[in-house]
Structure formats: structure tokens, C-alpha cells
């Protein structure tokens, strides 16, 4: 098994990758009952080389629903009828997930609503209040 290279500085060593094969559902007809084409790829996130602490936290947040009991990332693929293409697909999914964690989020800049936006909001509230006032009976409102 070769390492997964995400960027020049970030790579997942082969020792951090575990591959399990299983029978897949989906396309393949009778072949599906005989051949193990589903790929279950597990990656030890602590062994990924070149990640900063902030990137590691982002990766854990992105992959939180894909972690097993040991804290490893679990990526499965059964999209194709061949084991090799499913393995390549699972490796690509892992590469894309780690690459997404490398991109820092844009900082939020606090803004204030414009005067026109505030006036539009107040006008909408007054319009809604008018509709409710018209619904009330003659003696219901004061």
C-alpha cells in the first residue's frame, strides 16, 4: 500500500492505513454475491504527517461522524464493480477530506444593518401589525 499524498507538506503514511474488503450491495448482479468489492479504508488520524494543530482540530470536526471507536477515520466505497476502483475512490475521498481541513475558514467580520434595511424591517413589522389589527373584532382591541 502506498502513502496518500495530500499536498507537498501533508501525507498519510502507509502504516496509518488499514484496508478491509467485504461483499458489496449494489451493481454487479450475481457477481455481488461472490466477490468482495466493497472497500473499508481506515486511517489513523494521529499518524498523518504535516498537520498543524489547528488543521488537526478542523479535520476532527469534519470527520466526527466518520470515526470508529478507536478514533480512526472510516471511509467506505462500493460505487463500482471492481475492488481496485473502489480502493482508489476511498483513497480519493480521504485525500479530499484532509485537503478540505487544510483550508482555514474565512474570519467573520461583524457588520451592521444599513439604514434602508432597518426601515424595511420596521415597515414589514407595521404591515404585519396592521393585518392582525384588521383581523380583530370591533371590541377586541384597545
Mean pLDDT of 101-124: 95
On whether the 4-102 domain is CATH 3.40.50.2300, my answer is no
**Domain residue ranges of the chain, discontinuous segments joined by +:** 4-102
Which pLDDT does position 91 carry in this prediction? 93
**What per-residue confidence (pLDDT) applies to 114?**
97
Pure H helices in the chain:
53-62, 83-102, 115-135
Cα(137)–Cα(142) distance, integer angstroms: 11
Residue with more model confidence, 140 or 10: 10
Instruction: Find the angle CA(49)-CA(53)-CA(59) to the nearest 5 degrees.
Output: 75
Distances (CA, A) of 141 to 7, 113, 127, 136: 68, 33, 17, 7
pLDDT at 111 over 90: yes
Q: How confident is the model at residue 27, as a pLDDT?
A: 62
pLDDT confidence band for 38 (50 / 70 / 90): confident
pLDDT value, residue 26: 63
As a whole number, the mean pLDDT across the chain is 89
The residue among 23 and 32 whose pLDDT is bigger is 23
Amino acid at each position: 500500500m502506498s502513502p496518500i499524498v495530500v499536498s507537498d507538506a501533508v501525507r498519510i503514511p502507509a502504516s496509518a492505513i488499514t484496508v478491509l474488503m467485504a461483499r458489496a450491495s449494489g451493481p454487479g448482479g450475481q457477481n455481488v454475491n461472490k466477490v468482495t468489492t466493497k472497500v473499508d479504508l481506515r486511517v489513523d488520524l494521529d499518524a498523518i504527517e504535516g498537520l498543524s494543530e489547528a488543521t488537526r482540530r478542523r479535520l476532527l470536526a469534519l470527520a466526527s461522524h466518520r470515526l470508529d471507536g478507536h478514533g480512526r477515520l472510516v471511509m467506505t466505497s462500493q460505487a463500482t464493480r471492481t475492488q481496485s476502483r473502489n480502493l482508489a475512490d476511498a483513497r480519493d475521498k480521504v485525500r479530499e477530506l484532509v485537503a478540505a481541513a487544510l483550508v482555514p475558514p474565512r474570519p467573520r467580520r461583524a457588520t451592521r444593518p444599513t439604514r434602508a434595511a432597518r426601515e424595511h424591517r420596521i415597515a414589514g413589522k407595521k404591515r404585519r401589525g396592521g393585518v392582525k389589527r384588521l383581523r380583530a373584532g370591533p371590541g377586541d382591541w384597545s
